[in-house]
Structure 1
Amino acid sequence: MPRWKELPAETSNSERQLLVQLRRLKDHSDLSLAALASRTSYSRSSWERYLNGKKPVPRTAVEELARVCGTEPTRLIVLYDVAERARAKAPAPGRADEPSSPPRSSQPSSPAQNQERGQEQGREQTPDRAQDQDRAQESASTLASASASVRPGRTVPLGWMLAAVALAVAVAFGAGVLTARGWDDEAPAEKTGPVAVGAGYQRGQTYKCAVRRQDGELRAGHSDTREMLLDINSTGFDVVEAQCLLREKGFSPGVFDGLYDERTKGAAKKFQQAHHLVVDGIIGPDTWRELRG
């Protein structure tokens, strides 16, 4: 049996689960890609792209593969629908050939261009920042005018000069502090809510379970999914959420590390049996509904 290629790193968890099941079905049938092409409406190269994650597999291809292999397609269609919804929610990738900003000219800017650019930047500032900078500039100008107005031979009291310098420095410093504080106020707030799947999850780490009821359902704070399919070797915060909810329901898997292993699957089977669900150890929409209830 040929060894499958590693799926692309950008493949989502739901898409990966679908492709793993399709690969297993194809391997168990002992059909080659050429044989699939002869028995379905898709070419050999199309099956190669679909099963290696190079191109999303169509729904009709999933149905035809199940038919050719003599398998009920319902479970595969559920996996396909979950992956399709995940693709619809994913942001569209930007095109590499479209720069986000116009390229900068390598030629030095003329004084007129520099002045115009400075005026444009000034318009983008808020009124408070502009006033603070104007005050600093006025103080500096006043100090320069006072220094320039002193005629040769005349003396200015040292105390006055030091006071003027201190005033100008204080005003300039205050304007800088206000400006910096304004920038800090506009900075995006740090995210403290549940972490999305694949963002920050570390394999081998044990996570805490703080289950509480929110909006009428139980949540452990790691994921808010109600439809993600979890099976052996699934990983991520969705698995941590399921492990915590299983413990809350009295079917603890003993670990809360985000890895769907045999212990977690065994706990899921016991939970499914107790709630009169299909006992397959696969956490899907029906099992999620009971876990969050």
Structure 2
Amino acid sequence: MSRWKALPADLDPRARHLVVSLRRLKDHSGLSMRQLAAKTGYGTSSWERYLGGRSLPPKKAVEAVAAVAGEDPTRLLALWEVASAVWTGQRTDPAPVTPADAAPGVAPGPPARRRPPRGAVVAGVVAFVLVVASAALLVARVSGGDEGRARPVAGSSAAPAGVEAPASVPSYTCHVERIGGQWFAGMSRTQDVILASGHAGAEVAEAQCLLRRAGLPPGDIDGIYGPRTERAVQRLQQRAGLVVDGIVGPHTWGALRG
């Protein structure tokens, strides 16, 4: 598996999520950077920029790497939509096309002009797409072996007719135990689901419980990946000698469960 360099410190967490997902697919494919370039049609230098968090990959490149890895591109494309909406100003300009990347017989054109920021409506739509895609992934996930279970607080009696009942609020309680040489908190058995700032659910609560067990308090066990949880993850990564990016992936899960 590749030993990746740390991503730029100013890269938005939602853009980080896309890059980390692409890195993971590249690792799982077993391809070198040169082989990935040959199979996707995008140059080696382009993939180094995309996977280094220095340039937003084109949508077609995301579809291409999903096809190479044999993955359904739906979730990756939802991540790409969100990342493209929040990509920081210095990264919204596509990198200039070099002679090596240009199509044969076509002269490189002038640098692309910076795109204006997308409106709130577009951001809302892509966020909704991400939520729907993530929910579908949680329901259908089999290969990861996840068994996340939200524990809802007992609700009150039914509301009177015409009055909307309040939504049930998830509540999480840590039940940490050692099973087969690994630590589990009773809410998920995942080993590889990717978590980052802004995520929520049973997997986040599982990570929070294991961070607390490791002596790295993440704040409340609320299933919300906020700043305190991210800082606790970074301290764990530093202690374990991992890339300190504040994102929980397979290596960080290994440190949490080990």
Query: Which TM class, normalised by the smaller chain length?
Result: 0.3 to 0.5
Q: TM-score, normalised by structure 1?
A: 0.38
Higher helix share: 1
1 or 2 for the larger relative contact order (CA 8 Å, sep ≥6)? Answer: 2
Q: TM-score, normalised by structure 2?
A: 0.43
